[in-house]
Amino acid sequence: MNRKVLLIEDDKIVRENTSEILELANYDVKTADNGKNGISVANSFLPDIIVCDIKMPVLDGYGVLQILSRSNKLKHIPFIFLTAKTHHNDLRKGMEFGADDYICKPFEESELLRAIESRLKRVKNIESKNKTETPKLKSNSIFENIKDFNNFLDKKEVFTYKKNESIYCEGNRSNFIFLIKKGLVKTFKNNEIGKELITGYYFDNEYFGYASFLKNLPHLENATAITNTKLYKITKNEVTSIINNNHNVIYNFIDFLTNKLIEANDKSLLFAYSSVRKKTAFLILDLLKKYPLKSKNEITINRTDLANSVGIAKETLIRTLHDFKKENLIDLTPKSIKILNIDKLKRIQ
Provide the pLDDT confidence category of residue 220 given band limits of 50, 70 and 90: confident
What is the structure's pLDDT at 216?
A: 73
Q: Which of 183-197, 237-251, 326-340 has the lowest mean pLDDT?
A: 237-251
Q: What single-letter DSSP state applies at residue 118?
A: H
Q: What is the mean pLDDT of residues 34-54?
A: 93
Q: What is the pLDDT of residues 84-101, one digit of tens each?
A: 755 556 566 666 667 788
Average pLDDT of span 292-310: 73
Distance CA 49, CA 43 (A): 13
Q: Secondary structure of 122-134 in the HEC alphabet?
A: HHHHHHHHHHHCC
Hey, what domains does the chain have and what are their CATH numbers? 4-132 (3.40.50.2300), 141-262 (2.60.120.10), 274-346 (1.10.10.10)
Percent of the chain that is helix, strand, coil (3-state, to 5): 45, 20, 35
pTM of the model: 0.45
pLDDT of the residue at 106: 84
Model pLDDT, residue 144: 41
Distance CA 114, CA 321 (A): 51
Residues of the chain with pLDDT > 70, as a percent, come to: 76
The answer to whether the beta carbons of residues 100 and 77 sit under 8 Å apart is: no
- Is residue 284 within 8 Å of residue 299, measured between CB atoms? yes
Query: What does DSSP assign to residue 3?
Result: P
| Residues 321 and 280 sit within 8 Å (Cβ to Cβ) | yes
Residue 125 CA: distances (Å) to CA of 55, 95, 113, 119: 32, 22, 18, 10
Check residue 41 and give its pLDDT: 94
Residue 221 — very low, low, confident or very high, per pLDDT cuts 50/70/90? confident
Residue 146 CA to residue 150 CA, distance in Å, equals: 10
Confidence at residue 48, expressed as pLDDT on a 0 to 100 scale: 93
**Average pLDDT, rounded, for the chain:** 79
Cα dist from 216 to 64, 105, 199, 303, 343, whole Å? 31, 35, 20, 35, 43
**Strands 101-104 and 196-202: what pairing?**
unpaired
